[in-house]
Amino acid sequence: MLNLERLRTLDALARHGSVSAAADALHVTTSAVSQQLGKLEREVGQQLLARNGRGVRLTDAGRLLSEHAARILSQVELAESDLEAHRGQVVGELRLSAFPTAARGLFPAALGALRAAHPGLRVRSSELEPERGVAGVVRGDLDLAVVLDWYNKPMPVPDGLVKAPLLDDPAEVAVPAGHRLADRDEVDLAEFADDEWITWGEGEFCHEWLVFTLRSKGVEPIVGHRAGETHTQLALVQAGLGVCIAPLLGRHPVPDGVALVPLKQRVRRHVYVVWRADADRRPSIRAAVEALRATAQKLG
């Protein structure tokens, strides 16, 4: 009989690509992963792993069994979801992530309300950029992730995930109070062609959106500074070091010496929460989504 925990270890290796990454995902040591996989090889009587430089790769038998393992673990999660739904209690552990401004703007109130309403539920949260949050849900490392896309740059959601909208997050341009455009009723992004931008990290979804949007207006952005958190960006604006996009979520209080200028073309981020379809019936998932929506509604 195949051991479920060993199949889970093989699935983690297939998803993460290395023994060390699988160990991190499973919160065990690398030696524990190696031992489990060695036992699994002896159980099936076939070689599942082969040396690949300093690491390992799955053999044909390993890939075949890992595909079955993914389906088996999905069915196990579905069974657990059905049992939890049948019991009707919001208990157990729930792992969530959110991009930084959503973690700041949504999690304190939403997770506080969730704990008060369901003391038997253990909630674990972390800050992750949208792509990493989605990947964590797909892998099974997370139960839910609060993610975003922009009005003109959607982020694809992989098959097998469910998503629910939380809020539309309007954005303006934050400029130093003495900026030439600070007193304008509205501006076009193209008017900032000569300004230095304070933006997100290289490769992050919001940074890629800003570059994409400015280039669509014929502007090659001048990037002066990078910061992942809105308040760090606003502090740099306050110091006169550039301008930044300032979404409503998570930006308050706006520092003195910073002016917010509306854009002619309304700019919005779409904020939503995603989870696996096979966990859809879990009461804890539903309770968390309801708490996030209630908090988002108050912000709107």
Full DSSP string of 50-65? EEETTEEEE-HHHHHH
Instruction: Return the percentage of the chain with pLDDT > 70, whole number.
Output: 97
How sure is the predictor about 85, in pLDDT bands with cuts at 50, 70 and 90? Answer: low
Tell me the mean pLDDT in the region 149-161: 88
pLDDT in tens, 253-294: 899 999 999 999 889 999 999 999 888 888 899 999 999 999
More confident of the two residues 81 and 114: 114
Average pLDDT rounded to a whole number, residues 159-186:
95
pLDDT, mean of residues 169-186 = 96
pLDDT at 187 over 80: yes
In percent, the amount of the chain with pLDDT more than 90 equals: 65
Residue 27 has pLDDT above 60, yes or no: yes
Selected residue with higher pLDDT from 46 and 24: 46
The residue type of 160 is: G
Identify which of 242, 158, 237, 230 has the alpha carbon closest to the alpha carbon of residue 195: 242
Distance CA 207, CA 203 (A): 7
Question: Looking at per-residue confidence, does 87 or 117 come out higher?
Answer: 117
Average pLDDT, the chain: 91
Helix residue spans in the chain (DSSP H): 4-16, 19-26, 30-44, 60-87, 100-105, 107-117, 130-139, 205-216, 230-238, 283-299
65-71: list long-range contacts, CB under 8 Å, 24+ apart: 65/7, 65/10, 65/40, 66/10, 66/11, 66/13, 66/14, 68/7, 69/7, 69/8, 69/10, 69/11, 69/14, 70/11, 70/14
**Looking at 23-27, 92-96, 225-229, which range is the least confident one?**
23-27
- Residue type for 165, please? P
Q: φ and ψ at 148, to 5 degrees?
A: -150, 160
